[in-house]
C-alpha cells in the first residue's frame, strides 16, 4: 500500500463533448496529472529533475482498466484519490478514484513502470526496477 | 462479430510528451475517433444527424481496458483496426488494435452504450437497447 | 472595462512536448477555461444553464492574438488574469495575462460573441447583441 | 515566400464542444501539426532527428494571430494550407489557411523561431538564426 494524494479538477465547458458531458480521454489526462501529483506530494522530484540527476525520464502506462459509473459535466468539482495498491519488481499498480462530492464517477487501475533512456539508443525507453527510495517515500 | 474499419493516425510532435513518446490519453482520443469512424464506415449517420432524427446523442464509454506493448513517436503512421466483438442488449464491446506496420502497439476493449437525453432531464443521458438497424449495418 | 478574475493552472508533465515545455495549444485551452471562469466569478450562469433558460449556447472565438514571452514547464503554477477591455454591440474583447509569480509568460486579446442556435437551423450558431444584464454583471 | 504544404484533418465528435462545434484550441493543435508537416514535406528532418544531429529541439510559437470566419463540425474534411510568408534573421512568419472545400474557415499568422537547448542550462531554450539550409529546402 502507499500514501494517498488527492488531485482536484474543475471541469470546464471545453472538457465536454456535444452531449455536454466530459469526454473520456480527459479522464485519462487528469489521471495522468493525478499520478504526477501523487509522486510530488510524496516528496519524489519531478521527472525533469529525476532525469537530470538519475536518468529516470518518466513512468509510462503499460496498461489501464477504467470503469465509468456516472458522467461529469461543466462546473463539476472533482477529487481524484490516487494511491499505489501494489509494488512489483519492475512495475507498480496505481488506483485512481474520481469523486464528485461523495459519489464515485469513475475508477482506474493502472500498471506503470519507471523508465530510463538507454545510452545506446536515447530515443527508446527501458523499464528499470522500482527504485527503493521512491518506494519508501510513497509508503 | 462485425465489420472492421481502419482509422489512420499520423503522429505529430505535439502528441508526444517530454520523453518524446505519445501520451497515453492521445491513444484514448484516437480510439474514440476510430469508433466514430467505424460507425460512419458501416453506414450509420453521425450523431448530430442521429440526435436530430432519432434522439440518439452519443455512445459514451462505460469501461475500457487497454494494454500498451510498444510506444509510438513523432512521424509514426498508425492504423487502428476497430470492430465490435460482442453485442449485448444495452451495450456492445469494441475492440481496437493499434498497429504500426505489422507491429501491435496497443489494444483496447471498450464497453459502450447508445444514449438518449430523457425529455424530463435533457442534461442527463440514458442508455437505450442497441438499435437493431445499427447492429445490422455493422454486421 | 470590467471586473478581473484569476484562474489558476498547475502545469503537469503531460502538458509539455518533447522540448519539455508547454505546448501552445494548452495555453489556448487554459484561456478558454479562464474565460468561462471569468463569467462564473461575475455571477453569470454556466452556458448549459444559459442555453436552457435563454437559448445562449456559448461565446465562441472570432479572433485571437497571443504573444508568448517566456515558456512554462512541468510544475509551474500559473495565474491567468482575465478581464473584458471593450464591449461592442455584438462582440466583446477579452484580455488574458498569464503570470508565473511576477513574470508575464503570455498575453492574449480575444474577440468573442454570445451565440444562439437559430430555431430554423439548430446545428448553426448566430451572434446576438451582448445582453445588457451580462454586461452589467461583469462591470 | 516558400513552398506550400496541405495538411488534412477529418473532424471527429470529440473535437467538438457542447455547441457541437470545434473548440478553438483544436485549430491551434492542428496548425501546429500542419507546421511540422510543412517542414517534413519540404525535406527537413523531424525535430527528434534534428536535435540528435544538430541540437535543434523545436520551433516554438512566439506569437499567433488567428481569425475565425466559419465554424467546423463533426465529419468536416479540412485542408490546412501552410507556407512561410517571411523569413527574418531569427524568426519566420507562417501562414495557415484552414479550408473546407472552397470555403475559408480560419486563418492564422504565426511567428516562430528554431531553438536549441543551451549546454549550460539544458532545460531552457534559446532561439538561433534561421539555418540557411532549412530556408533553402523550404523555398
Instruction: Assign D94 to helix, strand or coil.
Output: strand
D5-138 — its CATH code?
A: 3.10.129.10
Q: How far apart are CA A113 and CA B19, in angstroms?
A: 13
The label of the residue with cell 495555453 reads C27
Closest CA to B58 of B138, B108, B121, B113: B113
pLDDT tens per residue across span D67-81: 999 999 999 999 999
Q: How far apart are CA A24 and CA B113, in angstroms?
A: 13
Report the b/e string of C51-88 with b at 16+ CB within 10 A: beeeebbbbbbbbbebbbeebbbbbbebebbbbbeebe
> Which residue in A16, A25, A52 is closest to D18 by CB distance?
A16
For residue D60, the chain C residues in CB contact (below 8 A) are 19, 21, 24, 68, 71
Average pLDDT over residues B17-43: 96
Tell me whether strands B5-10 and B103-112 are parallel, antiparallel or unpaired.
Answer: unpaired
Chain D's closest residue to C26, CA to CA, is D25
Residue A58, beta-bridge partner list: A115
How far is CA A78 from its chain centroid? 15
Local confidence band at A119 (pLDDT 50, 70, 90 cut-offs)? confident
| Catalytic residue selected from A15, A17, A74, A123 | A17
Mean pLDDT over all residues of chain B?
95
The label of the residue with cell 480510439 reads B31
CB atoms A74 and C36 under 8 Å: yes
Read off the C-alpha cell for B92: 456492445
Please say whether the beta carbons of A114 and A56 come within 8 A: yes
Chain D's closest residue to C28, CA to CA, is D25
In this prediction, residue A123 carries a pLDDT of: 73
Mean pLDDT over all residues of chain C?
95
> Which residue in D14, D20, D46 is closest to B33 by CB distance?
D14
Closest CA to B52 of C54, D73, A73, D24: D73
Report the b/e string of B33-49 with b at 16+ CB within 10 A: bbbbbbbbbbebbbbbe
Q: How far apart are CA B109 and CA B93, in angstroms?
A: 7
Hey, which chains touch A, using 3+ CB pairs under 8 Å? B, C, D
Q: Which CATH superfamily is domain C4-138 in?
A: Hotdog Thioesterase (3.10.129.10)
Question: What pTM, to 2 d.p., does this model score?
Answer: 0.95
Task: Output the furthest CA–CA distance in chain D (Å, rounded).
Answer: 50
In this prediction, residue A138 carries a pLDDT of: 97
Read off the C-alpha cell for D15: 473535437
In this prediction, residue B62 carries a pLDDT of: 97
In this prediction, residue B122 carries a pLDDT of: 72
For residue D29, the chain C residues in CB contact (below 8 A) are 23, 25
Instruction: Assign A55 to helix, strand or coil.
Output: coil
Q: Is a pLDDT exceeding 90 seen at residue C119?
A: no
Please say whether the beta carbons of D84 and D91 come within 8 A: no
> Which residue in D14, D19, D25 is closest to A23 by CB distance?
D14
Phi and psi (nearest 5°) for B98? -95, 120
Angle formed by the axes of helices D24-41 and C24-41, nearest 10° = 170
Closest CA to A35 of A104, A108, A123, A87: A108
pLDDT along chain D (139 residues), means of 10: 94 95 96 98 96 94 97 96 97 98 98 93 88 97
In this prediction, residue C7 carries a pLDDT of: 98
Q: What percent of chain A has pLDDT over 70?
A: 100
Mean pLDDT over all residues of chain A?
95
Residue D64, beta-bridge partner list: C66, D110
Within an 8 Å CB–CB cutoff, is residue D23 touching chain C? Answer: yes
Q: How are the residues of chain C apportioned to helix, strand and coil, as percentages rounded to the nearest 5?
A: 25, 40, 35
Give me the sheet containing A115-116, strands edge to edge. A56-58, A115-116, A126-127
Average pLDDT over residues C95-108: 98
Q: Give every CB contact of residue C2 below 8 A, 6+ residues apart in sequence.
A: C42, C83, C84, C85, C138, C139
Give me the sheet containing B77-87, strands edge to edge. A4-10, A77-87, A92-100, A103-112, A61-68, B61-68, B103-112, B92-100, B77-87, B5-10
In this prediction, residue D21 carries a pLDDT of: 94
Residue D48: count of CB within 10 angstroms of its CB: 18
Hey, which chains touch C, using 3+ CB pairs under 8 Å? A, B, D
In this prediction, residue C122 carries a pLDDT of: 72
CB atoms C61 and D24 under 8 Å: yes
In this prediction, residue B72 carries a pLDDT of: 96
In this prediction, residue B74 carries a pLDDT of: 95
Between the alpha carbon of residue B39 and those of residues B15, D9, D71, the distances in Å are 25, 18, 24
Provide the sign of the torsion angle of the four alpha carbons A17, A20, A22, A24, taken in this order: negative
Q: What percent of chain C has pLDDT over 90?
A: 91
The mean-pLDDT minimum among A115-129, C28-42, C74-88, D125-139 falls in A115-129
What ipTM was assigned to the predicted interfaces of this complex?
0.93
Provide the sign of the torsion angle of the four alpha carbons B75, B81, B87, B93, taken in this order: negative
Residue C109, beta-bridge partner list: C65, C95
Q: Is a pLDDT exceeding 80 seen at residue A63?
A: yes
Please say whether the beta carbons of C115 and C128 come within 8 A: yes
For residue B47, the chain D residues in CB contact (below 8 A) are 13, 74
Instruction: List active site positions of C.
Output: 17
Q: Is a pLDDT exceeding 90 seen at residue B83?
A: yes
pLDDT tens per residue across span C37-67: 999 999 999 998 999 999 999 999 999 999 9
pLDDT tens per residue across span A16-51: 999 999 999 999 999 999 999 999 999 999 998 999
Count contacts between B and C (CB, < 8 Å).
30
Average pLDDT over residues C14-29: 95
Closest CA to B28 of C39, A61, C125: A61
CB atoms D21 and C125 under 8 Å: yes
Local confidence band at B119 (pLDDT 50, 70, 90 cut-offs)? confident
In this prediction, residue B78 carries a pLDDT of: 98
Within an 8 Å CB–CB cutoff, is residue C77 touching chain A? Answer: no
Chain D's closest residue to B11, CA to CA, is D33
- Give me the DSSP letters along chain B: ----EEEEEE--GGGB-TTSBB-HHHHHHHHHHHHHHHHHHHTPPPHHHHHHHH-EEE--EEEEEEEE-S--BTT-EEEEEEEEEEE-SS-EEEEEEEEETTEEEEEEEEEE--EE--TT-TTS-EE-PPPHHHHHHH-
Q: Is a pLDDT exceeding 80 seen at residue A1?
A: no
Angle formed by the axes of helices B24-42 and A24-41, nearest 10° = 170
Average pLDDT over residues C19-39: 96
Number of helical (H) and strand (E) elements in chain D, helices listed first: 3, 8
In this prediction, residue D124 carries a pLDDT of: 83
Chain D's closest residue to A24, CA to CA, is D14
In this prediction, residue C123 carries a pLDDT of: 73
In this prediction, residue C8 carries a pLDDT of: 98
Q: Is a pLDDT exceeding 80 seen at residue B1?
A: no
Amino acid at each position: 500500500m502507499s500514501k494517498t494524494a488527492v488531485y482536484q479538477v474543475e471541469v470546464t465547458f471545453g472538457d465536454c463533448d456535444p452531449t455536454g458531458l466530459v469526454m473520456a480521454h480527459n479522464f485519462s489526462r487528469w489521471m495522468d496529472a493525478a499520478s504526477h501529483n501523487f509522486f510530488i506530494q510524496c516528496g519524489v522530484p519531478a521527472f525533469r529533475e529525476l532525469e537530470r540527476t538519475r536518468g529516470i525520464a518518466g513512468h509510462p502506462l503499460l496498461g489501464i482498466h477504467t470503469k465509468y459509473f456516472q458522467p461529469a459535466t461543466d462546473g463539476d468539482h472533482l477529487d481524484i484519490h490516487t494511491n499505489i495498491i501494489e509494488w512489483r519488481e519492475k512495475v507498480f499498480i496505481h488506483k485512481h478514484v474520481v469523486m464528485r462530492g461523495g459519489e464515485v464517477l469513475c475508477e482506474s487501475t493502472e500498471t506503470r513502470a519507471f523508465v530510463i533512456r538507454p545510452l545506446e539508443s536515447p530515443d527508446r525507453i527501458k523499464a528499470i526496477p522500482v527504485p527503493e527510495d521512491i518506494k519508501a517515500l510513497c509508503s
